[in-house]
Structure 1
Amino acid sequence: MRRTVRFIATDLVKNKFLYLLAMPGLLYFVLFCYLPMTGVIVAFKEYRLDLGIFGSPFNGLDNFRFLTVDTASVLRVIFNTLFLNALFIGIGTVLAVLTAVLVNEIRLVIFKKITQSLVILPNFISWIIVSVFAYNFLNTDSGILNGWLQGLGFSPVNWYNSAGLWPGILVVLYVWKTVGFNSIIYLAAIAGIDPEQYESASLDGASKIRQMWHITIPGISKTIIILLLLAIGRIFYGDFGMIYGLVGDNSLLFSTTDVIDTYVFRALRTLNDVGMSSATGLMQSVIGFVLVFSVNAAVRRYDKDSALF
């Protein structure tokens, strides 16, 4: 025991600057990830504000009964959540990798930096601002897009009444906002590939496309797999900021855009049932945990170096 304490003390003194450097990140996870986990207990309680978290009575699994009250609506929002996230992950990953590859091919340093700044910029625009842009584009009466359609001889489209079009609209806006920022990680991975591989391929007559397919993609494949694993862990979480910012309470679009998070938010707002929202969050976390472990096990069987753990 004394040896362990002495070893820890020595290590703290020896690497004090490294621990200080890691402190902000550790505090973030402790304050915003680990301490809030005590709230998981609310999922099994009939929460009352006057009694608090620990004073409220237990009610077993009653908070999970909402899953069976309106089965059709629950299945719809689960499908929408999985379907939209699958589109976001799949299309977003492909375009982020493609963006990283194309930016990496730019040889003029100034132009490369300008391009990187431009593709990253949309990430710093809030979804509320994006929703204002989207409304000005999609507004039926005075929207820019309908103006273009009418100029080409087509009839205007009532975008905010056409639920079937919104999965595509959401994907376009998601890609525009996030792909540039996500490509940074792939750019860093590409920078770690040995340049001599490209030189050898060029001497052998390989085109840029062949170099990309046989050198770049295999070189960043482990990074792609790790990021996909992390994304799969949140596949049951809808992007509340995006969906609610763009769709709001427009019930005409719920059939294709309503996700778990927006569904629970409306229920919490009307029923004020904190226990139900906590139960939903716990369910999402458990399913994400199981999915990450399952997919990681499959990846580990195929390639141990590409697995998270």
Structure 2
Amino acid sequence: MHFTNSIPGSDPSDRGTVAPTLQVFSIKISEIKGGLRWPLSVYGVVAARDAVDHNRNLLFARDRSVYQTIKEDDPYLRLTGPSRAIVFGDPVDFEIQLKLRGSTAARDRALITSTERYSTGIGTICFENCFCTTELKLEAIERSVQATILSVCVKGGPWPSKYGGRVVCYAPSRSGEINGEVVLSDSCSGGMMPTGLSGHLRLSRNVVSVEMQGSLQVSLQAYSSSGGFSQRKVVSFKAKSCLISQASVTFGGAKVEITVAWSRLVSEKEDITTKGWVHGLGDSDKV
């Protein structure tokens, strides 16, 4: 959110840029080989490096104490990033380093370690070795800005389903096509919504790229007893280059308030460090 507080109409060259970015939707283990069996206890790192600062921009990061159980009927990693938009002016490097947790640390084993340079614009990157195939689904977005979902707050009543629900968002192209959705929060069917203080939902992800002339759609979805959705509500935000948008909607017996911060993108780290602006664009390589 380096340029969220910019003055509307200010000189774009002095307040960030509108540029191509990559939207990462999901990462899944699509196939296992070499005698492995489901479920898998997985930990490790998946990250992107772009030309802004070449630091790791983490998409998935867990150590062995908080491993994720990957099942055949739900093979997706629970993503927590990126922490800022992935700029796609130059090729982007994606790194994956996943391990399988054993009964002791000495019994842990490597699942996959690989790096792929992305420059094509196709919608899927595949990482493959003798143990598994992992697919990263993404989309290239032209002339985009960054939307940071600051909060989704449930007020005046409980979440409308005791079976939980999820919050997702997507940014349709100018043609109206939706290539994928970003999961912000998911209780998984049958679980309670992850709610913190004052009704704020705990969001696992909150950074989304949006086409400058487009919109961001935030979808609230309540699970039913069968695992489907009993209620849905969509809130639309028109893309901006700066400032904050806020909208409220009635969902069941509750009022849900959504707050989004908008910002132009940083093209190079040096552009802001020389002006004394905020440091720390990417995550540390010490992870």
* Higher Cα Rg, which structure: 1
Sort the TM-score into its range (normalised by shorter chain).
under 0.3
Structure 1 or 2: more helix by fraction:
1
